[in-house]
Amino acid sequence: MPEKKVNKAVVCPMCGELSKAVVYTSVNATVDKEQRERVLDGGLFAWKCPSCGYSARLTYPILYNDMKNRFMIYLIPKIDRYQLCDKELEEKYSNLRNINKRVVADFNSFKEKIFIFESGLDDMAVELTKAVIGQTVSKKLDGAEVKNGYLSMYDRESNTMGFTYFTGEEMTPYVQTARLEIYGKSKEIVEQFAIKDKKLKGFIKIDGEWADNILYRYKRAKKIERLNKVKE
């Protein structure tokens, strides 16, 4: 899976000049370590107008491959689909099994997924943990809205994991750490309630919305369990 680049026509939003940019549509992190760095620091997406010097970050679909850590992340800006089954891609990589394939809609989620899979974590369990801890943060802040959380720290030795949330109308960053036991519990929930999702083909979107849905199913099952116990 070599990296792929294409020439793209770019119209400068500042001066209107038409120019060309070389964009990478596919990146292979296993082969090219430097490319990985350039993805994470955003350098790969940087563009400068040759005419007026205006600089911007280009957004376009890019497929990130890391075969060593067995994951592929497809960044497709603003995609709102839960599952993406690209026939051509599926056929091309049909010999590869047990690869985590994810689709993300924005750059921060893209970076987060890379961090999660490089750390050897299960992203489904991370999303559940993030949702649960997010509720705790909201309570701590008197019910303030908590959104766009990202895994920002993982330390197996100190048994902690940290999330950065953006809270309230001002989107103030708030860092909350959690014990790995919560992650362990989340993993159990994933094994019980996300079996179907684990088997899905193609690239799937595992985000906060997905986590809320799983947690809803988990709570409903718990409730039924409790009710059955009362009947007995």
Contact with Zn ion (CB under 5 A) among 21, 31, 54, 153: 54
Q: Does 12 sit near Zn ion (CB under 5 A)?
A: yes
Contact with Zn ion (CB under 5 A) among 25, 30, 51, 158: 51
Query: Which are the contacts of 144, defined by CB distance < 8 A and separation ≥ 6?
Result: 138, 167, 168
CA nearest neighbour of 182 among 224, 154, 204, 210: 154
Residue 190: exposure state from Cβ atoms within 10 A (0-12, 13-18, ≥19)? buried
- Listed ranges 3-11, 45-53, 88-96, 213-221: which one lies at the site for Zn ion (CB under 5 A): 45-53
- Which CB, 49 or 211, lies closer to Zn ion? 49
The size of the interface with Zn ion (CB under 5 A), counted in residues, is: 8
Q: Does 47 sit near Zn ion (CB under 5 A)?
A: no
- Listed ranges 2-10, 16-24, 129-137, 218-226: which one lies at the site for Zn ion (CB under 5 A): 16-24
Residues at the interface with Zn ion (CB under 5 A):
12, 14-15, 17, 49, 51-52, 54
